[in-house]
Amino acid sequence: MSHDRALLDDGYRRARAVTLAHSKSFSFASALLFGHRKRAAFALYAVCRGLDDAVDEGLPEGAAERLAAAREALGELFTRGPVDRPGLPWAFPVQLAFHDSAQRFGLTA
């Protein structure tokens, strides 16, 4: 599945913003990385942060459903590619950035 380069770049920008806004230690450690590794670290953090937020929001009501939807989306990410659907704990462009990073660095489910 091919996506617009601008949308992918937006995903990496959003992932960086999530990381800088929510994790001082991760942001500081990522300063040691460069290029694609740094962008991949931001994308990974943003997806993990989204999962953490999915659990924290409205706990315990709906947490199981939110996590099931996120688990399904991540599974699809590794088998079919990113899926744009409402209710996921991260923006679609962030999912594109994570998918791009997973492919670049050989991450598998």
- Residue range 26-50, pLDDT digits in tens: 888 888 899 999 999 999 999 999 8
Residues 22, 24, 27, 32, Cα dihedral to 10°: -170
72-103 per-position pLDDT tens digit: 888 888 899 888 888 788 899 999 999 999 99
Looking at residue 97, its amino acid is: A
Angstrom distances, CA of residue 11 to CA of 36, 55, 57: 13, 22, 22
Report pTM.
0.87
